[in-house]
Amino acid sequence: MTDPATRTISIFGATGSVGTSTLDLIRLERDKYRVVALTANSDAEGLAKLAKEFDAQVAVIADASRYEVLNDLLAGTGTEVAAGPDKLVDAASLGADWTMAAIVGCAGLPPTLAALQCGKTVALANKEALVSAGALMMAEAQQAGAILLPVDSEHNAIFQCLQGGRIDQVRKITLTASGGPFRTWSREQMTSVTPAQAVAHPNWDMGAKISVDSATMMNKGLELIEAHHLFPVGLENIDILVHPQSVIHSMVEYHDCSTLAQLGSPDMRIPIASALAWPERMKTDCLPLDLTKIATLNFEAPDHDRFPAIKLARNAIEAGGAVPAILNAANEVAVAGFLNGDVQFLEITDIVSHIIDSYSPPNPDNLADIFEIDTKTRERVSAMIEGIKV
Ligand code: NDP
């Protein structure tokens, strides 16, 4: 029987940037946790290593062609091995006390929903799931009595600032944005951006997809949609402010004109630690903030001409229905195309905009509808990219 002092924990996307940062924190308090499920897409070697170290109950690899490798690597251990997207859902349905949803992309939606349906605590990094199916996810979380803790540094900052007042007392939420590696570049300079330049974020060390999203500023657009679902203050009351140092992670202004901000070094382990220990606080070995070294904090308005992605996202959430799911799926495929060398950097947002304008499916009612929209959007974008290539 589990020691009542230990919490059961599952990490979806364990081999990624957020997943490994989460496991770094668990190493600091190893005896407090029992690991239920760890998952990856295709990195069987990385997953097997983590499953052995943390003595995971189950290790799931989404790419079924990697099952044999994972199974061989974990032979003789107590870890059960499974493969395929359905097994991710089964693992999430085991209902760990605390689940980290850190799969990248809409592929994370089914296991995240399954974890929410267990009515436990879900720490959400997987913003694409919320962008595509925000209303559905929030309704499921509420119905199951699940606790949804935002992990994205901005949303975690807002969550922390909201401990200082009530949501109905909020006048404005300000999401800060670093501006990405091309903050000061002209459109002309951005025509020749390479994947290596786009993934080299000035402040944060992250996975490839979110790094490209930060470079186009689609990341901030996705975060705007994420904030709209998590913090119901009205879309018109959520602003975006470019703050290149990434020290203030976001702010909440109350009706009395008091503004609360959360500050910290740009290290994802800080918001993850806040979600892991919540409602307590844990000690970490992260770098404390030294404002004398930083000395200056700068702020500027986003430039919507050079970075049209934020407006695309704002329009998508205003349009509602299928549009946010189309925006997300189109962006995922366009970013993958850019990373493969098939799409130019500036074409990413052009593709998203074009698909939104040319595809109008009926409003989704359920998860199946959302997946149909997601699949059809991916097909359209892939065909469009094939057309660009020839
Ligand atoms: P990474 O690319 O570093 O890791 C992604 C993880 O998801 C890996 O474990 C990967 O497995 C797994 N994965 C990828 N595709 C699939 C799939 N189709 N099915 C199942 N598993 C899959 O991403 P990040 O850690 O950077 O980002 C994860 C999520 O967190 C994203 O939604 C991102 O927007 C969000 N986020 C990330 C931040 C960061 O600092 N990195 C900050 C804030 C939010 P494998 O290793 O086998 O490929």
212 occurs within a structural domain:
yes
**390, pLDDT greater than 70:** no
Look at the block and give the residue holding tokens 């052995």: 52
Cα–Cα distance, 336 to 376 (Å, whole number): 16
218 occurs within a structural domain:
yes
Domain boundary among 96, 121, 150: 150
Ligand 1 centre to CA of 13 (Å) is 6
pLDDT 10s digits, 60-96:
999 999 999 999 999 999 999 999 999 999 999 999 9
Quick one: 280 and 366 in the same domain? no
Quick one: 164 and 226 in the same domain? yes
Quick one: 180 and 88 in the same domain? no
156 occurs within a structural domain:
yes
Length in residues, the chain: 390
Quick one: 27 and 132 in the same domain? yes
Task: For the chain, give the mean pLDDT.
Answer: 96
Find out whether the beta carbon of 335 lies less than 6 Å from any atom of ligand 1.
Answer: no
283 occurs within a structural domain:
yes
pLDDT of residue 201: 87
Quick one: 156 and 51 in the same domain? no
| Range scoring the smallest mean pLDDT among 4-8, 140-144, 165-169 | 4-8
Cα–Cα distance, 261 to 280 (Å, whole number): 19
Find out whether the beta carbon of 102 lies less than 6 Å from any atom of ligand 1.
Answer: yes
Give me the domain span that covers residue 160: 152-307
Give the helix/strand (H/E) hosting 38: strand 33-40
Ligand 1 centre to CA of 106 (Å) is 11
Bridge partners of 234, per DSSP, are none
Cβ atoms 271, 151 nearer than 8 A: yes
Cα–Cα distance, 347 to 334 (Å, whole number): 8
**1, pLDDT greater than 50:** no
What is the mean predicted confidence (pLDDT) over 145-165?
97
Domain harbouring 28, CATH code: 3.40.50.720
Quick one: 289 and 336 in the same domain? no
What is the mean predicted confidence (pLDDT) over 148-165?
97
Express as a percent the part of the chain with pLDDT over 90.
96
Cα–Cα distance, 306 to 120 (Å, whole number): 42
pLDDT 10s digits, 207-236:
999 999 999 999 999 999 999 999 999 999
User: What pTM was computed for the model?
Assistant: 0.97
Find out whether the beta carbon of 183 lies less than 6 Å from any atom of ligand 1.
Answer: no
Find out whether the beta carbon of 206 lies less than 6 Å from any atom of ligand 1.
Answer: yes
Q: Nearest residue CA, atom 9 of ligand 1? A: 13
Find out whether the beta carbon of 17 lies less than 6 Å from any atom of ligand 1.
Answer: yes
Find out whether the beta carbon of 13 lies less than 6 Å from any atom of ligand 1.
Answer: yes
Quick one: 179 and 62 in the same domain? no
Find out whether the beta carbon of 223 lies less than 6 Å from any atom of ligand 1.
Answer: no
86 occurs within a structural domain:
yes
Domain boundary among 307, 329, 363: 307
3-state secondary structure of 83: strand
pLDDT 10s digits, 12-28:
999 999 999 999 999 99
**H helices present in the chain, as ranges:** 17-28, 44-53, 67-73, 85-92, 109-117, 127-144, 153-161, 187-190, 195-199, 208-216, 218-230, 269-277, 291-294, 309-319, 323-340, 347-358, 367-389
Ligand 1 centre to CA of 128 (Å) is 10
Quick one: 227 and 281 in the same domain? yes
Q: What is the DSSP string of 366-380?
A: SHHHHHHHHHHHHHH
Quick one: 368 and 389 in the same domain? yes
Find out whether the beta carbon of 218 lies less than 6 Å from any atom of ligand 1.
Answer: no
Number of domains composing the chain: 3
What is the mean predicted confidence (pLDDT) over 34-47?
98
Look at the block and give the residue holding tokens 């496991």: 23
Domain boundary among 150, 178, 198: 150
Q: What is the DSSP string of 181-232?
A: TTTT--HHHHTT--HHHHH--SS----HHHHHHHHHTHHHHHHHHHHHHHS-
Quick one: 140 and 168 in the same domain? no
Cα–Cα distance, 199 to 207 (Å, whole number): 8
Q: Nearest residue CA, atom 32 of ligand 1? A: 126
Q: Nearest residue CA, atom 40 of ligand 1? A: 206
312 occurs within a structural domain:
no
What is the mean predicted confidence (pLDDT) over 159-167?
96
Domain harbouring 361, CATH code: 1.10.1740.10
Residue (of 198, 128, 200, 211) closest to 341 by Cα position = 198
Quick one: 174 and 239 in the same domain? yes
Quick one: 89 and 236 in the same domain? no
pLDDT of residue 231: 98
313 occurs within a structural domain:
no
192 occurs within a structural domain:
yes
Q: Which of 11, 17, 112, 333 to mutate to test the pocket of ligand 1 (most atoms within 8 A of CB)?
A: 17
pLDDT 10s digits, 312-330:
999 999 999 999 999 999 9
